[in-house]
Amino acid sequence: MAPGGRRSNGETPTGQQQQQQQADGRRGCACGGFPVCACAGAAAVASAASSADMDRVAVAATEGQIGAVNDESWVAVDLSDDGLSSAADPGAVALEERPVFRTEKIKGVLLHPYRVLIFVRLIAFTLFVIWRISHRNPDALWLWVTSIAGEFWFGFSWLLDQLPKLNPINRVPDLGALRQRFDRADGTSRLPGLDIFVTTADPFKEPILSTANSILSILAADYPVERNTCYLSDDSGMLLTYEAMAEAAKFATVWVPFCRKHGIEPRGPESYFELKSHPYMGRSQEDFVNDRRRVRGDYDEFKARINGLENDIRQRSDAYNAARGLKDGEPRATWMADGTQWEGTWVEPSENHRKGDHAGIVLVSRRFLLLRASSTDTHVAE
């Protein structure tokens, strides 16, 4: 089973098929069959040169900057509302000694009136409850007790909701300090690894294009490429999901460098290209128009391939089954592009090839253990 798995009928892969499997392994997704695929981050889906170039662009664009909420209502806790420092100058502190994040607060001119309003409402609520308790209704005592309990409950829940708003804070990372502390000399990072797990129930109930967009947005995250891994679990075990992820991995070699070079937001291609305006956040604006036009064309082709996968799989399987001369009533397998039978759920389900087949899941788990032991450049988990 490709890539990296055994052949379903005990056959030995040919040299051409082995090369194809190796190529698939470099695309960033390792799928031992159903129901789990693992996609490594941008380092696995983009070429090494392109990824390194995009890293340098991203570092240059944000070197020494402190990310900030794009809102003038926030101010650092060590600054007054007019922006003057009330402590030592942060710029005078050595980079290696600076904290990796800054704490921001809402300006007092906005926060104090809100606190006064909450205090006034709390007093009004307290007086109202006292009045309700002191004016009971003997003719409908059960209704009076119920209403009092309701007032107490809703008042308590309102108070819990207001408490965090009385002193809101925001943590903003210091990108320069983070790089100083966690970047190694060889270009790798000591930041903790991210394992992001995505689940899908069925490629028909949950559109496969939406799933692919979710995977692409995760792979394009602004995080060290060697520390970012995405896992996909398909409960249905369909070949459609498997081949869609292979297509997504190929398109990621275009989409991920584009996002890193130009600071693209949002990072899901479908959401991004639906925007009527595209605010630019990168440093290579002269290349942006040409790059965006090229990536948009590649994405349209990617969508066409995704939308045509279901028909391609059905036609391919019909051709293989017809060549085997199957009789009426014999199981009709679903076939992969390399000429092997799909070990998950077939288009026409049969024994051991239905949704939720336990034997298939155990087989895949065993295969992933083998892949994990033998793979050196792709993160794969059971």
Does 244 reside within a domain? yes
Q: Is 20 exposed, middle or buried (0-12, 13-18, 19+ CB in 10 A)?
A: middle
| Residue 227 and residue 168 in one domain | no
| Residue 314 and residue 233 in one domain | yes
- Please determine, for residue 30, whether its predicted confidence score (pLDDT) is greater than 50: no
Q: Can you tell me the distance from the alpha carbon of 375 to that of 229, in angstroms, rounded to the nearest whole number?
A: 15
Please give the tally of structural domains in the chain: 2
Confidence class of residue 147 from pLDDT cuts 50, 70 and 90? very high
Q: What pLDDT was estimated at residue 357?
A: 63
| Residue 208 and residue 141 in one domain | no
Q: What pLDDT was estimated at residue 81?
A: 54
Does 102 reside within a domain? yes
- Please determine, for residue 2, whether its predicted confidence score (pLDDT) is greater than 50: no
Express each pLDDT in 284-316 by its tens digit.
Answer: 677 888 899 999 999 999 999 999 999 999 999
| Residue 52 and residue 198 in one domain | yes
Mean pLDDT of 101-128: 93
Last residue of a domain, which of 111, 142, 173? Answer: 173
Which whole-number Å values give the CA distances from 241 to 17, 60, 122, 204, in the listed order? 21, 38, 54, 10
| Residue 192 and residue 305 in one domain | yes
Express each pLDDT in 83-96 by its tens digit.
Answer: 555 444 555 556 66
Q: CB atoms < 10 A from the CB of 292, how many?
A: 17
Q: Can you tell me the distance from the alpha carbon of 377 to that of 375, in angstroms, rounded to the nearest whole number?
A: 6
Q: Is 81 annotated as a binding residue?
A: no
| Residue 138 and residue 201 in one domain | no
Q: Is 205 annotated as a binding residue?
A: yes
Does 10 reside within a domain? no
| Residue 329 and residue 224 in one domain | yes
Q: Which domain holds residue 148?
A: 67-173
Confidence class of residue 28 from pLDDT cuts 50, 70 and 90? very low
Q: What pLDDT was estimated at residue 82?
A: 54
pTM for the predicted model, two decimal places: 0.62
Express each pLDDT in 129-145 by its tens digit.
Answer: 999 999 888 888 899 99
Does 182 reside within a domain? no
| Residue 138 and residue 250 in one domain | no
Does 4 reside within a domain? no
| Residue 204 and residue 220 in one domain | yes
- Please determine, for residue 48, whether its predicted confidence score (pLDDT) is greater than 50: no
8 Å CB contact between 206 and 200: yes
